[in-house]
Amino acid sequence: MFRTLCFALFLLGEVTLLAADKPGDVTKEDATWAVFRGDALQTGVAKSTLPEKLKIRWQFSTKDAIEGAPAIRDGVVYIGSLDEHLYAVTLADGKEKWKYKGGSFKAAPSLRGDSVYIGDSDGTFHCVDATNRKQRWTYKVDAEIVSGANFAGDNILFGAYDDTLYAVSKEGKEVWKFKTQGPVNGSPAVIGERTFVAGCDSALHIVDTAKGTELKSVDLGGQAGATGAIRGDYLYVGTMTNEVQAIDWKKGEIVWTFKPERGQQPFYSSAAVTEDLVIVGCRNKRVYGLDRKKGTETWSFLTDGRVDCSPVVVEKRVFVGSLDGNLYVLDRDKGTLLDKFRLDGAVAGSPAVAAGCLVIGTDKGTVYCFGE
């Protein structure tokens, strides 16, 4: 999702029940993708199903590239574009409901209550009414925001390129801010009273969500452009030094490190984490399925371009885009190709899955909705 190289900074309406036979078959949870990776833990695992055979249901055009993931709720897709607009599009038919003017949006929007939260490249964090696009408040920071927001209690958490993780209230007032030693790219993951931030200071910071104080810090051995994903006591994150790390966040220790044997390149993709696998894209054009407990390679799949897109797991399938302009559908357990779709441009942004639909954008500014 986040394509900016950190080291350069030193020199991120109506529900159509397509997968259900009747309205009762899709729960509200199935119909929602509220934050960058789908849940507070940033796991990238969908709760909704998708039909066995996907088709393009609709396309929606913005006027510049899309680098972030969409958010979906109540039959509406929310997505930011580098054309300086946040869009609300009807999931059923791809019709524009409204658009909101801000700065260039690289971050994924986040949803809570009847508000949409998103930061822009001008350093403004926006709270927008989800129903009528009215600005509720803004909060200004000193640098670009590519981090998606997450939530801890009533507070909204996000990172910025001014080396800071912020917590603001639902009224847009500062609650606390935590300083790192480098720009923050990824979205904060949250579990209980802990949040996690990794960025260009080559460290994973474990922070108390109530006080904004650091509880532990883990040296990652390299800068991170990706969002960490949590499952149980472990957090998984890729680095710009060509590694994927598994960290026991309770102990503050690295459990395993994966580094490709050949074609070593940075990991900008954020991992999807299942019970058995850590699935992540790499700039060496491969998607890897790693044993979650051991960190060994279970499978890898070669695309024709760099993989900055963060994969999403839907039951037995993995959906991931590449800068080669394809959306790939892989077998979750074997990594074999099941299907692929040619899109109109490179895919650096990541998918969202809800209500039987998958939505993703390209660098041509086109939003695609796949479904039945």
9 assigned to some structural domain:
no
**Side by side, which strands form the sheet with 244-248?**
229-231, 234-238, 244-248, 253-258
| 250 closest CA partner among 230, 271, 270 | 230
Q: Are 117 and 109 in contact (CB under 8 A)?
A: yes
- Whether residue 251 lies inside any domain: the answer is yes
* 358 residue type, one letter: L
Residue 64 in tokens: 């510049």
pLDDT of residue 262: 87
- Among 362, 363, 355, smallest CA distance to 77 is for 355
Maximum separation of any 2 CA atoms in the chain, in Å? 57
CA-nearest of 235, 222, 317 to 271 is 235
pLDDT of amino acid 29: 75
Terminal C-alpha separation, the chain: 26
CATH of the domain at 276: 2.130.10.10
| Alpha-carbon gap, residue 370 to 341, rounded angstroms | 10
| 188-201 per-position pLDDT tens digit | 999 999 999 988 99
Question: Which residues of the chain register pLDDT less than 70?
Answer: 1-27
DSSP secondary structure code for residue 274 in this structure: -
Domain count, the chain: 1
The two tokens of residue 159 are 């990172």
Q: CA–CA separation, 213 vs 169, rounded Å?
A: 17
Cα 312 versus chain centre, distance: 9
The domain of 251 spans 15-371
Calpha distance 137→96 (Å, rounded)? 23
Q: Is 338 contained in some domain?
A: yes
Q: What pLDDT does residue 325 have?
A: 98
| Distance from C-alpha of 177 to C-alpha of 190, rounded to nearest angstrom | 16
Residue 202 region by backbone torsions, left for phi larger than 0, else alpha for psi between -120 and 50, else beta: left
- Please tell me the predicted confidence (pLDDT) of residue 27: 65
Q: Is residue 132 part of a domain?
A: yes
- Tell me the pLDDT tens digit for each residue of 112-163: 999 999 999 999 999 999 999 999 999 999 899 999 999 999 999 999 999 9
From residue 141, give the alpha-carbon distance in Å to each of 103, 124, 159, 166, 290.
13, 6, 10, 9, 37
Q: Are 150 and 187 in contact (CB under 8 A)?
A: yes
Q: How far apart are CA 323 and CA 364, in angstroms?
A: 12
7 lies in a domain? Answer: no
Please tell me what DSSP assigns to residue 33: B
* Type of residue found at 345: G
Q: Is residue 3 assigned to a domain?
A: no
Answer whether residue 71 is part of any domain: yes
Residue 8 lies in a domain: no
97 close to 79: Cβ distance less than 8 angstroms: no
